[in-house]
Copies of this chain bind each other. A is one copy, B any other.
Amino acid sequence: MSTSLDAATVDLLGVLAYGELTAFERLATDARLAPTIADKHALASMAAAEFEHYRCLYEHLRGAGVDPEAAMAPFVGAVDGFHDLTPPNDWLEGLIKAYVGDGLAADFYREVAAFVPDGAARELVLETLADTGQATFAVARVREATSRDPAVAGRLALWARRLVGEALIQAQRVAVERDALTELLVGGSGDLAGIARLLSRLTDNHTARMQALGLQAS
């Protein structure tokens, strides 16, 4: 197939599509851990919204003459690796993963999207990163749990730290393997100082999410 999209944009849409597909699977799987039908309903609704994001990315790639499965394939190892190493042990860990993990990933993709030359692709990425309701829901449920049992907060803070660590390992793996995507990010940032500022923005947002949850960020 011939396409108007550059290699870095195809990579970005591909990793994002596979990320949304697995986020869908994971949220739907975690819905099984939900303590009430109302919680199950909430998580299943978010999962369905993630699937809709996935479908938009999939169709955009096809419409641009790109095989969506080929675009996703290079990222299966890193994304599956992250999920295989971070299975939530209970309902609360699942919520933290949905909010903290997906929040960090979304911030990162948003930064990369700013450098995408194709306007339609850039818009699409920003739309698919829209919060599907995880934030409010996770914050409310986690705060309820830690106010009932303050000891839970320590365990959840450690869990969030582990999620960030595993995510960074997989992100490095992608950076090493996908030159075009890495160049887009490095070229867009300008220099090492630009990358440092980007990392500092990601860290600030992560800290804000942890504070919203009432958990220690570090």
Contacts and interface: CB of A to CB of B under 8 A. Distances in A.
A54 B44 contact: yes
Contacts of A52: 48
Interface stretch (A28-36, A123-131, A147-155, A178-186): A28-36
Contacts of A37: 18, 69, 72-73, 76
A166 interface: no
Interface string A15-44: 000100100110011011000111011001
A41 B25 contact: no
A98 to B, nearest CB: 14
Contact of A28 (B29, B41, B55, B69): B29
A212 to B, nearest CB: 27
A38 to B, nearest CB: 6
A21 B48 CA distance: 11
Given A28-B25, A32-B29, A47 B51 contact: yes
A131 B70 CA distance: 29
Contact of A48 (B36, B48, B73, B76): B48
A210 to B, nearest CB: 28
Contacts of A73: 37
Interface of A: 18, 21, 24-25, 28-29, 31-32, 36-38, 40-41, 44-45, 47-48, 51-52, 54-55, 58, 69, 72-73, 76
24 contacts: A21-B40, A24-B28, A24-B44, A24-B47, A24-B48, A25-B31, A25-B40, A28-B29, A28-B47, A29-B29, A37-B72, A37-B73, A41-B58, A41-B69, A44-B51, A44-B54, A45-B51, A45-B55, A47-B51, A48-B48, A48-B51, A48-B52, A48-B55, A51-B51
